[in-house]
Amino acid sequence: MVEISWEDRVAVLTMKGASPWNVMDRTMLEQLGAALPEAVAQGARAIVLTGAGRVFSAGGDVRLFNALAQEGEDALSRTIGEYMEDLGNPIARYIAQAPVPVIAAVNGPCAGGALGYALAADIVLCSRSAYFLVAQITQLGIVPDLGINWVLGRALGRPRALGMALLGDRIAGEQAEQWGVVWRCFDDAELMTQALAMAKKLAALPSEAIVECRRLVDDASQMSMKQSLAAEREVQRGLVRSAFFQQACARFVSK
């Protein structure tokens, strides 16, 4: 299940599985897919995604995959494809394109598809006890999914992205910070305090500017510098019309 709690204008979405590993079974995916837009509809200006207990999430529901395998290869292939298209992939897209900033507070082990969801967030934080594991190839013989390839390739470059994917080594929280997988690594007891503080800071900012900045960063790797400069110009022409910008300029001049 996914629990929603509130800290001012920040919605905290906590993944709480049937087991301590917070496995992303159908129920969790359905609830997470509904909770994200629901939080925005209820007025969230920022979202924090985390896991219950000492685990973020171990990823997909292998028990379900095993049950489907008993129905035959064709049924397994078809159902997994539908499962990803209807449940898994839309969540990754929503997190990456949400109309408000999303912070992933990775409070413990983060493996498999759950890593795709964490890395899709605008800001990724983790605890010192956390680790990141791309388990699909080494443990299941399938490829990383739910956005992992897209994000890791951009964040780490080809050598480290492929190293994580092909070897399946655990990347500890502090190492993830050093590599740039996450923004900051905190002591376990400080993680949620820091995540909420950052989320409240983001909630006070104009979401339009945050969303446009995210889009420019995501698109930049596919643009020439000339194209990127032109895109920035067009975004700025719109954002300078905002009351936030004009009031900020007036405050600056008054000082």
Domain count, the chain: 2
Percent of the chain with pLDDT over 90: 94
Give yes or no: residues 106 and 133 share one domain: yes
pLDDT of 68 > 90? The answer is no
pLDDT of 199 > 90? The answer is yes
Residue bearing the bigger pLDDT, 65 or 235: 235
Mean pLDDT of the residues in the chain: 96
Tens digits of residue pLDDT in 148-194: 999 999 999 999 999 999 999 999 999 999 999 999 999 999 999 99
Among 164, 183, 203, residue at a domain's last position? 203
Give yes or no: residues 241 and 119 share one domain: no
Residue 42 tokens read as 């209820």
pLDDT for the residue numbered 232: 97
Residue 205 tokens read as 């900012």
Among 203, 225, 244, residue at a domain's last position? 203
Q: Which residues pair with 123 in a beta bridge?
A: 103
Residue that has been written with the tokens 């395998």 in this structure: 69
Give yes or no: residues 90 and 168 share one domain: yes
Task: Give CA–CA dist 97/119, Å, rounded.
Answer: 13
Give yes or no: residues 37 and 59 share one domain: yes
**Quick one: average pLDDT of 85-95?**
97
pLDDT for the residue numbered 97: 97
CATH number at residue 27: 3.90.226.10
Task: Give CA–CA dist 255/252, Å, rounded.
Answer: 5
pLDDT of 53 > 90? The answer is yes
Give yes or no: residues 107 and 175 share one domain: yes
Give yes or no: residues 185 and 218 share one domain: no
Query: Could you tell me the pTM of the whole model?
Result: 0.94
Give yes or no: residues 49 and 120 share one domain: yes
Cα 39 versus chain centre, distance: 15
Give yes or no: residues 246 and 160 share one domain: no
Give yes or no: residues 118 and 145 share one domain: yes
Among 161, 180, 203, residue at a domain's last position? 203
Give yes or no: residues 108 and 215 share one domain: no
Give yes or no: residues 218 and 101 share one domain: no
pLDDT of 255 > 90? The answer is no
Give yes or no: residues 168 and 153 share one domain: yes
Task: Give CA–CA dist 238/235, Å, rounded.
Answer: 5
Task: Give CA–CA dist 154/157, Å, rounded.
Answer: 6
Nearest to 107 by CA among 60, 156, 57: 57
Q: Which domain holds residue 221?
A: 207-254
